[in-house]
Amino acid sequence: MYRKILLALFVSIFLASSVFAKDAGVIKVGVAGPMTGPQAKMGMDFRNGVVLAVEEWNAQGGVLGKKIELIIGDDQADPKQAVSIANKFVNQEVSGVIGHFNSSCSIPASDIYNRAGIPMITPASTNPQLTERGYRGIFRVCGRDDQQGKVAAQFVVSKLKIKKVAVIHDKTTYGQGLADEFKKFIGTNAQVVHYGGIIQGDKDFKTVLTVIKNKQPELIFFGGIYPEGGLLVKQAREIGLKTPFMSGDGVIDPKFIEIAGSGNAEGTYLTFSPDPKNVPTAKSFIEKYQKKYGEIGPYSVYAYDATNILLTAMKNAGRADSKAIIEKLHSGEFIGAFGKIKFDQKGDVTAAPYVVWITKGGKFVEYWKP
């Protein structure tokens, strides 16, 4: 009996290793983001966008005459996991990486990709730091928090004409970064009556909201993700704090409204890129996505664009050589679902559009353009 099991084991090891050996005929692309954990929905939305793009390329024969194979890495929104995924990708010799989602994951992971010379394009990490360190192979197709914070501050100062704001953040690279940029651009145009952090994963924010209520701000700005954002809005209304609420792209998720309660969420502002549904070039992508996966997520379009850009650069380079791909990414001009995309020296998009959205009737709608 034992011998049979042992034999089966050996046979299966050989079979498995022959599968690994066959990899030479494909081009590997890594996708990394929070595929499980509290932010899994965001991760899956963006993974689906990548899968769709790769399927389209593979249907047309792949790139450089080879099929594209996706390797999906789950960083669970945890920087430590992100680093181990990055190392795994390097060992598996991927030709490029789409990801990560969270800035706190993208930044440490980009150190590893940079050292290995692998190009990385993030569809969602907006922290300025990511592209400020002179890494040539690190790109993003979304905007930056300083651009986002600026638009939010412009809106608050010139449209709402507000004089007193309270700023809260969740102490993460993304949340605090956004809050800091907002505060910086508010400058002397309005008074910041409260500035402080909360703990990500905490559920009770009544204490900090009670403090804020006492300082009577005219607007609360929150840098963070939707679970805390939703709870903040809900609990603010519970303690009778009816001040307008504004946040960044981290709260653009239907769960935000569900958690806050649709009545409470009504009229909250957030900054995000323009609605892809209003962009004619994105129409065919949205239709395809909806047919396959249902409603598109906020970053699905970016993920799709990032993948297409990486593969186009690979095609332009004529070989799956990282260095050549990075050069093509810097020099080329790409057509994405959102229109033309070109990268600057740092790897940021030259034109990052941010607009203000509002929650209306339980839905997010575009509201104000700077």
Partner 1 sequence: MFFQQILNGITVGGVYALIALGYTMVYGILELINFAHGEIYMIGAYLGIIFIGIFTAIGLTEQSPLLAVLLSLTLSVIFCSAYGFAVEKLAYRPLRNAPKLSPLISAIGVSIFLQNYVMLSQGATDKVFPQLFETKGIEFLNLTITVLQIFIIVVSLLLMELLHLYVMKTRTGKAMRAVAQDKTMASLLGINIDWIISITFIIGSGLAAVAGFMVAMYYGLVNYSIGYIAGIKAFAAAVLGGIGSIPGAMLGGFILGIVESLAAGYLSSEYKDAYAFIILIIILLIKPRGLLGKSSGDRA
| Residue 347 C-alpha from the chain's centroid | 16
CB of 97 to partner 1, least distance (A): 23
Single-letter amino acid code for the residue at 325: I
Within positions 133 to 162, which residues make up the interface with partner 1, using CB under 8 A?
A: none
Q: How far is the CB of 304 from partner 1 (least distance, A)?
A: 23
Q: What are residue 336's DSSP bridge partners?
A: 339
238 binds partner 1 (CB under 8 A): yes
211 binds partner 1 (CB under 8 A): yes
Residue 222 pairs in a beta bridge with: 168, 247
What is the distance between the alpha carbons of residues 193 and 195, in angstroms, rounded to a whole number? 7
Establish if 288 lies at the interface with partner 1 (CB under 8 A).
no
Among 108, 117, 197, 370, binds partner 1 (CB under 8 A): 197
State the first-to-last Cα distance of the chain, in angstroms, to the nearest integer: 74
Contact 168, 198 (CB under 8 A): yes
Q: Tokens 């969740």, residue?
A: 170
In the complex with partner 1, which residue's Cβ is closer, 41 or 330? 41
Nearer to partner 1, 202 or 344 (CB): 202
> Contact at 8 Å (CB) between 272 and 355?
yes
Q: How far is the CB of 208 from partner 1 (least distance, A)?
A: 4
Minimum gap (Å) between residue 126 Cβ and partner 1: 22
Q: Smallest gap, in angstroms, from Cβ of residue 114 to partner 1? A: 30
Q: How far is the CB of 35 from partner 1 (least distance, A)?
A: 9
For position 290 contacting partner 1 by CB under 8 A, the verdict is: no
295 belongs to the binding site for partner 1 (CB under 8 A):
no
- What phi and psi values does residue 298 have, to the nearest 5 degrees? -60, -25
- Amino acid of residue 157: V
The verdict on 40 binding partner 1 (CB under 8 A) reads yes
Residue 230 binds partner 1, judged by CB under 8 A: yes
Distance, in Å, from the CA atom of 83 to the CA atom of 230, rounded to the nearest integer, reads 30
- CB nearer to partner 1: give 240 or 361: 240
352: helix, coil or strand? coil
Segment 251 to 280, residues that bind partner 1, using CB under 8 A: 255, 258-259, 261, 264
Is residue 171 part of the contact set for partner 1 (CB under 8 A)? yes
100 binds partner 1 (CB under 8 A): no
Applying CB under 8 A, which of residues 23, 93, 132, 202 lies at the interface with partner 1? 202
With CB under 8 A, what is the number of residues at the site for partner 1? 34
Q: Name the burial class of residue 277, with classes exposed (0-12), middle (13-18) and buried (19+) by CB atoms within 10 angstroms of its CB.
A: exposed
Q: Which two tokens stand for residue 315?
A: 């095609």
Q: How far apart are CA 85 and CA 79, in angstroms?
A: 10
Closest C-alpha among 140, 313, 119, 272 to residue 132: 140
Distance CA 118, CA 95 (A): 6
Question: Which of these segments, 12-20, 237-245, 324-332, 340-348, binds partner 1 (CB under 8 A)?
Answer: 237-245
CA distance linking residue 69 with residue 218, whole number of Å: 51
* Binding to partner 1 in span 8-37, by CB under 8 A: 36-37
- Within residues 298-327, the interface with partner 1 by CB under 8 A covers none
Footprint of partner 1 (CB under 8 A)? 36-38, 40-41, 171, 196-199, 201-208, 210-211, 214, 227, 230-231, 234, 237-240, 255, 258-259, 261, 264
